[in-house]
Amino acid sequence: MLSDITIGQFFPGKSIVHRIDPRAKILLVLAFIIVLFIVRNPVSFLLIAVFLIGAYIIAKIPANAIWRGVKPILPLIAFTSILNLFFVDGEPLVHWWIFKITAEGISVAVLMAIRIVCLIIGSLLLTYTTSPIALTDAIERLLKPLKVIRFPVHEMAMMMTIALRFIPTLLEETDKIMSAQKARGADLETGSIVKRAKALIPILIPLFVSAFRRAEDLALAMECRCYRGGEGRTRMKQLYFSRLDAAAASVTGVLFAAAILLDIFLPKFI
């Protein structure tokens, strides 16, 4: 299960999606999330799905990466869908005890499931095609106006990226610790909830020790390289908006506008 979590993973490449400025990609993802929660029309969602599939094909991201990104949230999708299915008011199609299934409930359940899946897939595309260093620089540049109010922009961007970068590392470490505990006869998968929770203690303690040790090593490495924060820091690769970024923003903007217009003029889910 831990190997299915792909948050923070980066697939190196030289595709058009990889070469788009990371600041443009962050802004486009934010616009994508806004559009995703505006539209309620099936054709609009189909257009968004085609857009995502096309972006993954252009970026040459393996198809199993999409599945591994969605698989961990399937329980959340199922739980949200069930709540909407049984507790949305409307004319009941099926009624049993306090539970009832309505046409509106089915529409809302399908709508929320599609939204969550598209949200996860679209957000993962950003980390799949952007290196942690580029992501740090992009976040810092976008938050630069907040320096006027003395907001620690560089430190915030650095912490966010380090946290994102170490998610796969900590998951790999957790998997190794669990395998070691199972080899020693630990039972982590059977028994009551309380028993399973107690079985996690031998995993959490070494995981915390390993995490603090990695943090200390990282801090020592940064000090040895004379890291003193963002003041006076130079970058090996400068960020520039290019024609490619303008073209990507234009194409994406047209698709998002088409999705909103279709949502206005065509029937909606609810």
For residue 175, being part of any structural domain is answered with no
Residue 228 φ/ψ, nearest 5 degrees? -135, 30
Task: Assess if residue 42 is contained within a domain.
Answer: yes
3-class secondary-structure state, position 171: helix
188 within domain boundaries? no
Q: Is 144 a member of any domain?
A: yes
**Per the domain annotation, does 78 fall within a domain?**
yes
Per the structure, the complete domain to which residue 60 belongs is given by: 2-167+238-265
Number of domains in the chain: 1
What are the distances in angstroms from CA 146 to CA 21, 127, 137, 189, 269?
21, 24, 15, 47, 40
- pTM (global) more than 0.85: no
Q: In the prediction, which pLDDT does 202 show?
A: 81
- The beta strand positions in 57-97, using DSSP E, are 92-96
**In angstroms, rounded to a whole number, what is the distance separating the alpha carbons of residues 99 and 182?**
42
Task: Please report, in tens digits, the pLDDT of each residue of the chain (270 residues total).
Answer: 445 555 667 788 888 998 899 889 999 999 999 999 888 888 888 899 999 999 999 998 888 888 888 887 888 888 888 887 777 776 666 667 666 777 777 888 888 888 889 998 988 888 888 887 788 788 888 888 887 888 888 778 778 777 777 777 787 888 888 888 888 777 777 767 777 777 778 888 888 888 888 888 888 888 888 777 666 666 667 777 888 889 989 999 999 999 999 888 876 655
Residue 20, domain member (yes or no): yes
Do the domain assignments include residue 190?
no
